[in-house]
Structure 1
Amino acid sequence: MKKSLPFLVVLFMLQGIIAFAQTTQEIVDKIVKEANENSQLEPLAHELMDVIGPRLVGTPQMKKAHDWAVQKYAQWGIAAENEKWGQWRGWERGITHVDLVSPRVVSLSGMQLAWSPSTPKKGLTAGMIIIPDVADSLAFQKWLPNVKGKFVMVSMMEPTGRPDYNWKEYATEESFEKMKQDRNSLNETWRERYKKTGYTTRNINEALEAAGAIGILQSRWSEGFGANKIFGANTKKIPVVDLSLEDYGLLYRMVEHGEQPIIKVMAESKELGTVPTFNTIATIPGTEFPNEYVILSAHFDSWDGATGATDNGTGTITMMEAARILKKIYPNPKRTIIVGHWGSEEQGLNGSRAFVEDHPEIVEGMQALFNQDNGTGRVVRISGQGFLNSYDYMGRWLEAAPESITKQIETTFPGSPAGGGSDYASFVAAGAPAFSLSSLNWSYFDYTWHTNLDTYDKIVFDDVRNNAILTAILAYMASEDPDRTSREKAVLHTNPRTGEQRTWPETRSPNRDGGKNE
């Protein structure tokens, strides 16, 4: 009996689907095998975090990291280049040493903030004074001459260095509640103290510097044992040093009790003028659709209180490892695969915003972007970022990954578009399908996000390996997908606070000439 044409067409299509499924499973199995049996994550992390170190925009270490990445990609047979997008204040951190020299001698735990001016070669030795509780801004102006020749203490003394979870485990319920009430009261009193000066924490350093202070001491506790946030100095001539909660409290109490403590601060740093800033862009060319793109995304820069291991060293090595695996297992992708290592994310997504602005043709041709930037944990959340049909393609791509990886992932479709937070938002704002591979917490915000403790030892390599496998599979599936992804936007929900319809975030231009007032 002669078979009908429609039957033959259906049979042919079915055979094609089966063949694709078999090929997909083979590729996925090879990706998993390569990731588990030949992982390069540990050596990549050591070279980047331990040897190169923190990657503050405008520092020699940032440039070393860019050059290292280009060389590493070359070893894997992947073309990469450093693409200039702007310039920044050049600065290099040196040694920080702080000692209490009177009424007793002890070395203190502290470090200068990013872009802090250097002390003289012999250091600075002086007493301290605390931001006062004055009646109003006029009274504060009258008080300001008192800072001349002194270190000014600009942070509240924390009443406890124990995180809340420690109190909750050991304290009585009454004691725990009393501590929280006392702390809340202290915080409110300190906020009022600042308010009456007429300044904020953002601009008071400039006033103190102008009034003759020789240095500024702060302690920005991150609510975890030994963890402090380390950001920028915001001064032009005098050093700004962050002290540990414990040592800041020691000095604060001595000043309060009239014991007139004296400290010596050595804070070495170098001003390097204006230096160029870069994104590192690696490319595996597409064979069938070379002008369509799958982008693996992670910011390369960090703050420099530690080595930027989980923000965003882990995202960086995830994307590098995924690219290495793809080049080995899937060397001729249908669509071009780009890896974007963005500069100056920490100052406002500058590198990725510059890329969006400079490469509209790539943004137009984007199939998908996958970004990772919130710690060392395994991926547990993916949002559709407000793209109405994102479930159709992301759902299909995720199905190809092993259940051991996908069973822990919660998805939200279509979700809402991100206005900021990390570099995928730069592409979402331009209407391109970009997604955050959001990870498990691992006490990220208290212990490693922008702190002095964000170091190699905090990396959980089993989780990062899972993320590299997931990223490689998603990139493979997005590249192989016969269809272009839809960019149709969902109708956004009403803002419950304002009652107004939410709008799609707008694209923003990067700061291409920064760091002068950091």
Structure 2
Amino acid sequence: MKLRPLLAMTGGFLAALAVTTATAKPLSQEDLSVAEVLRDRALESSDAYSIVESLTVEVGPRPAGSEGDRRAVAWAQEKMKALGFDRVYTEQIEVPRWNRGHAHARVVSPFPQPLVVTSLGYSVGTPEQGLTAEIVEFGDVSELIAAPADKVRGKIAFINKRMERTRTGEGYGPAVGGRSRGMRAAAEKEAAALMIRSVGTDSDRFAHTGMMSIDGVENPVPALALSAPDANLLEAMLKRGQPVVVNLDVHNQRLEDGPSFNVIGEITGREKPEEVMIIGAHLDSWDEGTGALDDGAGVAIVMETARMIAELPQRPRRTLRVILYGAEEIGLVGSKQYVEAHQDELDNIIGVSESDFGAGKIWRFDTRLPETKFDIADQMMQLLAPLGIERGNNQSSGGPDSSVFVARGVPAFGLYQDGSDYFDYHHTPNDTLDKVDPEILKQNVAAWVVMSFLASEMEGDLGRVPTDN
């Protein structure tokens, strides 16, 4: 993508770039004027779509520590340099690695037929000859945890928890426990294997993968997700009152731990370069699709946001740092290792935010700020409201990776997308570029460039937020 210098700006906008130090409010009228022009330019001409198109076409799937991950790290560095970042670098992290093999399942009796499944992340395989066992059903993971071991031992535990569709994605939390904790519970009760209804909101016949809790599990068992129609099928079979027996043939490979990287690009602050506003997304993805929604769109949004700010005639007051986190999908590995490595510098991070909820239209602006700093959010809302964005709450984590910073007291902003259909595609082969709307991405960038520029340019700071420690 060629840089587009803002040479055609009107004299009025150039005048608005004059630094104003004497102002009673944290955001001066000059700051707001610059942000308004940035917002309107984003709606007209931002090109985040070409970035996510490049990532999905030229790299594709990029599980942590894989060859695709290595290509993504190289791609991100090259792209940031081309987009005009002042500084681009990587920081190595250590990640567990895993290769997906095949996963086949079929009902043996009483009504023989195939099932559509996928291995959950880092699942072990079956014995070479496969395994055959009876199904025992649980409504959610808590029922499995509470069940007596003799009810589960030697059987395939089937967690049949449906996920509720919501705009906010809040149905994910109640449903995802079966994936994250189910294998551990099944292994502790000596189950033969675990199968779960896919954590998703679609009715398509493909399954949703995702990470499990594997640390410290002494005797892990194969763990699979069923497509929603196949979970319905098993449910209907079980209602007929006969034992349902399933055969599984699964092959996966756990590899030695290895390196991955956080990729970092900066627009260096003109007055306070040591103070930093962090915006981020995660670079890794699962291997079933091309990671366009999770989280290619987020990568594109924050990179394009920084590109637009870099094209201003002068840099913002503080440094704007874009972090593309590694290994988010397997437990926020990149952000956790980043915070640990930089814990002595956290006081210089004024705020964090992350784009990691697909490519839907942004409709809500949440924060995690001290109450004395709400006027900053109020001023930002003057420019966000015309984009169809409403003010939300003050309980934002800023996104999954950003939550690691918030736990250490760093303030956060949250620009929340409409996730009504996000979990139709999440962690499936259907997470592909055709689900991304270029015009909606422009609205995303418009919101992000307002928030990111104003946070980087404002007088004062955002203080610290309470932690759970």
TM bucket (normalised to shorter chain) is 0.7 to 0.9
The Cα of 1:282 is off from its aligned counterpart by 0.9
Say whether the 8 Å CA contact 1:318–1:464 is kept in structure 2. yes
One of 424, 427, 449 as aligned partner of 1:447? 424
Q: 2: CA distance between counterparts of 1:258 and 1:486?
A: 62
Corresponding residue for residue 45 of structure 1: 52
TM-score with structure 1 length normalisation?
A: 0.67
Q: 2: CA distance between counterparts of 1:232 and 1:345?
A: 10
One of 359, 369, 383 as aligned partner of 2:366? 383
Letter in 2 for 1:396: Q
The Cα of 1:253 is off from its aligned counterpart by 5.7
SS of match in other structure, 1:131: strand
User: Is 2:182 aligned against 1:205?
Assistant: no
Letter in 2 for 1:75: A
- Give the % identical residues: 24
Say whether the 8 Å CA contact 2:266–2:320 is kept in structure 1. yes
Q: 2: CA distance between counterparts of 1:225 and 1:90?
A: 31
The Cα of 1:90 is off from its aligned counterpart by 1.1
Q: 2: CA distance between counterparts of 1:157 and 1:352?
A: 32
Q: 1: CA distance between counterparts of 2:236 and 2:262?
A: 46
Q: 2: CA distance between counterparts of 1:164 and 1:22?
A: 42
Letter in 2 for 1:70: Q
User: Is 2:197 aligned against 1:219?
Assistant: yes
Corresponding residue for residue 485 of structure 1: 461
Say whether the 8 Å CA contact 1:35–1:325 is kept in structure 2. no
User: Comparing 219-228 with 364-373, which one deviates more in the overlay?
Assistant: 219-228
User: Is 2:17 aligned against 1:36?
Assistant: no
SS of match in other structure, 2:158: coil
Corresponding residue for residue 272 of structure 2: 289
Say whether the 8 Å CA contact 1:290–1:336 is kept in structure 2. yes
The Cα of 1:83 is off from its aligned counterpart by 0.8
Q: 2: CA distance between counterparts of 1:73 and 1:15?
A: 31
Say whether the 8 Å CA contact 2:107–2:247 is kept in structure 1. yes
Corresponding residue for residue 181 of structure 1: none
Residue deviations 1:153-176, cap 9 Å, x none? Answer: 321568xx99899xxxxxxxxxxx
Say whether the 8 Å CA contact 1:220–1:229 is kept in structure 2. yes
User: Is 2:93 aligned against 1:110?
Assistant: no
Letter in 2 for 1:436: G
Say whether the 8 Å CA contact 1:230–1:452 is kept in structure 2. no
Corresponding residue for residue 438 of structure 1: 416
- Root-mean-square deviation (CA, aligned residues, Å) is 4.3
SS of match in other structure, 2:81: helix
One of 131, 136, 144 as aligned partner of 1:131? 136
* Pair 505,455 (structure 1): closer, same or farther in 2 beyond 3 Å: farther
The number of residue pairs the alignment matches comes to: 423
SS of match in other structure, 2:97: strand
Q: 2: CA distance between counterparts of 1:294 and 1:33?
A: 22
Residue deviations 1:24-45, cap 9 Å, x none? Answer: 6467435643563351x33322
User: Is 2:45 aligned against 1:83?
Assistant: no
One of 132, 147, 157 as aligned partner of 1:154? 157
Letter in 1 for 2:84: G
SS of match in other structure, 1:435: strand
User: Is 2:356 aligned against 1:373?
Assistant: yes
TM-score with structure 2 length normalisation?
A: 0.73
Q: 1: CA distance between counterparts of 2:151 and 2:119?
A: 29
Instruction: Work out which of the two has the higher radius of gyration on C-alpha atoms and give 1 or 2.
Output: 1
SS of match in other structure, 1:389: helix
Aligned ranges 1:271-420 → 2 under 5 Å: 271-304=254-287, 306-329=289-312, 332-360=315-343, 362-399=345-382, 401=383, 404-405=386-387, 407-412=388-393, 415-416=394-395, 418=397
The Cα of 1:126 is off from its aligned counterpart by 5.0
SS of match in other structure, 1:368: strand
Letter in 2 for 1:69: A
SS of match in other structure, 1:384: strand
Residue deviations 1:168-210, cap 9 Å, x none? Answer: xxxxxxxxxxxxxxxxxxxxxxxxxx9xxxxx834343247x6
The Cα of 1:339 is off from its aligned counterpart by 0.4
Aligned ranges 1:491-506 → 2 under 5 Å: 504-506=466-468
Q: 2: CA distance between counterparts of 1:53 and 1:253?
A: 37
The Cα of 1:257 is off from its aligned counterpart by 6.5
Q: 2: CA distance between counterparts of 1:488 and 1:246?
A: 47
Corresponding residue for residue 445 of structure 2: 468
* Pair 89,22 (structure 1): closer, same or farther in 2 beyond 3 Å: closer
* Pair 51,96 (structure 1): closer, same or farther in 2 beyond 3 Å: farther
Q: 2: CA distance between counterparts of 1:374 and 1:103?
A: 41
Letter in 2 for 1:479: S
Q: 2: CA distance between counterparts of 1:139 and 1:13?
A: 68
The Cα of 1:91 is off from its aligned counterpart by 0.9
* Pair 305,331 (structure 1): closer, same or farther in 2 beyond 3 Å: farther
* Pair 427,140 (structure 1): closer, same or farther in 2 beyond 3 Å: closer
Say whether the 8 Å CA contact 1:424–1:436 is kept in structure 2. no
Q: Which runs of 5+ in 2 are unaligned?
A: 1-17, 139-144, 167-177
Q: 1: CA distance between counterparts of 2:426 and 2:102?
A: 23
Say whether the 8 Å CA contact 1:102–1:263 is kept in structure 2. no
* Pair 330,369 (structure 1): closer, same or farther in 2 beyond 3 Å: farther
* Pair 81,257 (structure 1): closer, same or farther in 2 beyond 3 Å: same
The Cα of 1:128 is off from its aligned counterpart by 3.3
User: Comparing 269-278 with 229-238, which one deviates more in the overlay?
Assistant: 229-238
The Cα of 1:89 is off from its aligned counterpart by 1.7
Say whether the 8 Å CA contact 1:393–1:485 is kept in structure 2. no
Say whether the 8 Å CA contact 2:137–2:159 is kept in structure 1. no
SS of match in other structure, 1:154: strand
The Cα of 1:440 is off from its aligned counterpart by 2.3
Say whether the 8 Å CA contact 1:103–1:262 is kept in structure 2. no
* Pair 33,59 (structure 1): closer, same or farther in 2 beyond 3 Å: same
Letter in 2 for 1:392: D
* Pair 237,162 (structure 1): closer, same or farther in 2 beyond 3 Å: closer
Aligned ranges 1:175-214 → 2 under 5 Å: 201-207=182-188, 213=192
